[in-house]
Amino acid sequence: MLGPMSVRPPSVDRVLRSAPGAAAVARFGHEATAVAIRAALARVRVGELAAVPDQVALAAISALEAAAVPSLRPVLNLTGTVLHTNLGRALLAEAAIAAATEAMRHAATLEFDLATGGRGERDDHVRALLCELTGAEDAIAVNNNAAALVLALSALAAGRETIVSRGELIEIGGSFRLPAIMESAGTRLVEVGTTNRTHARDYEGAIGPATALVMKVHTSNYRVEGFTAEVAPRELAAIAHAGEVPLLDDLGSGTLIDLTRHGLPRERTVADAIRDGADLVTFSGDKLLGGPQAGFIVGRRDLVARCAKHPLKRALRLDKIRLAALEATLRLYRNPDRLAAELPTLRLLARPAAEIRALSERLTAPLAAWAGTGWAAEVIDCQSQIGSGAMPVETIPSAGIALTPAGRASGAAVEALAARLRGLPVPVIGTIRHGALRLDLRCLEDAAVLLAQLA
Ligand SMILES: *Cc1c(COP(=O)(O)O)cnc(C)c1O
């Protein structure tokens, strides 16, 4: 099929001296280009590629470009899950991005007190804000909420007992299991009650001299329904305090504001938990709060201080980049009226379904054209999820586009279409349901990015 030139491949040098070969050297360096050319020449020898220097060089450039695509890169999250753990959870506010960028580029006051010229404390950048926004006496920030729990349990309950309801022994994302976290922190788990019902007397009967903590865990990714009973947070705090042990409330998502103001389902706030008598509250930075990955321990000053002094704190601490982003994110909460405009997580969650439907109608034809013959595209009503375990049952009305294979439904065809979307320069991630590929457009704010690559 290829001409007689395919018999004798050009030399590596000859390809390097071609115009595209020289361009490749300028972009990727001599070493990497020569390696890619040798690989391309191997394809010439088996007849896959013409023995033309320019074409060999172009094949090498394609391979070098493919290898240069970053592994961690932006995607369009059209799954309908706003805080998608596998897609990196919260999108940061512009103020947080700017603060993180400045922190990356310059030396910063990470542990430096400008007033005294002496050593400062890294938690000082967020402590006052966290206290102001939650009503807590003191606060520290660590790597994530799992770290906050490991630290709090290690500092306060190692070698002693922690009491938890059987109905709250959660697993989050495959690797976070509460019993395993407790074991690694060296505290003995004392389970009380049953899966569906736990009463005040169950806790009261379990508190003894070896008890270090009573713990309440937000069952953030499931709900027990039917014949159920749990002890209200305020009553549980009273029980713990009567037994002279602190109550640790793991809120998980932990919003700082009343979400019903934005038309969203009610979620207990961190301030609610503090007001209800929790001595310590742990929660995440990159769930409903809308910041970078982080975890917080807020609450009683003496208990937070014990966590801060524990050797694990150093291992779990935040770097200047995330602290800068966190401080900027928390500052946005000082102006609740601007919050929905400036915090992407809230903006996306509160986005009206009618607006998403209008966008879906605009994008249906371009998507259908891109999918090609054999595919039907239609606007659908769907339900977005908050994600990351926040409010597992409540969903938010949304809209999107379903792509369905015409004629006999084929699972393989839908899988192949999903793979084509993932193969775009900015990969598009949808979900497959009922034999169709569904794209929930709630999180598509910049339609131009999608349109440009469909064209
Ligand atoms: C999400 C969650 C965690 C873990 O938080 P990360 O920030 O992902 O480490 C712990 N507890 C609860 C209740 C959660 O919802």
DSSP annotation of 86: G
Residue of the nearest CA to atom 7 in ligand 1? 145
**Ligand 1 pocket residue status of 384, Cβ below 6 Å:** no
CA 356 to chain centroid, in Å, comes to: 22
Q: Which amino acid is at 282?
A: T
Torsion angles phi and psi, residue 366, rounded to 5: -60, -35
Domain 94-342 has CATH 3.30.70.20: no
Domain segments of the chain as ranges: 12-68, 76-85+348-454, 94-342
pLDDT digits (tens, 9 = 90+) for 334-352: 999 999 999 999 999 999 9
**Ligand 1 pocket residue status of 89, Cβ below 6 Å:** no
**Contact call for residues 151 and 316 (beta carbons, < 8 A):** yes
- Could you give the CA distance from residue 372 to residue 392 in angstroms, rounded to a whole number? 36
76-85+348-454 architecture in CATH?
Answer: Alpha-Beta Complex (3.90)
**Ligand 1 pocket residue status of 144, Cβ below 6 Å:** yes
DSSP annotation of 93: P
Residue of the nearest CA to atom 5 in ligand 1? 145
**Ligand 1 pocket residue status of 217, Cβ below 6 Å:** yes
pTM for the model stands at 0.93
Within this chain, domains 76-85+348-454 and 94-342 share the same CATH topology: no
Q: Which atom of ligand 1 is nearest to the CA of 253?
A: 15
Q: Which amino acid is at 348?
A: L
Determine the distance separating the centroid of ligand 1 and the alpha carbon of 71, expressed in angstroms: 26
Tell me which long-range contacts 346-352 makes (C-beta under 8 A, separation of at least 24).
Answer: 346/262, 346/290, 348/82, 348/91, 348/442, 348/443, 348/445, 349/82, 349/259, 349/262, 349/264, 349/384, 349/386, 349/396, 350/262, 350/263, 350/264, 351/442
pLDDT of residue 390: 66
pLDDT digits (tens, 9 = 90+) for 124-181: 999 999 999 999 999 999 999 999 999 999 999 999 999 999 999 988 776 789 999 9
Report residue 360 as tokens.
């879906």
Judged on CB neighbours under 10 Å (0-12, 13-18, 19+), 331 is middle
Range 60-69 average pLDDT? 96
Residue of the nearest CA to atom 12 in ligand 1? 252
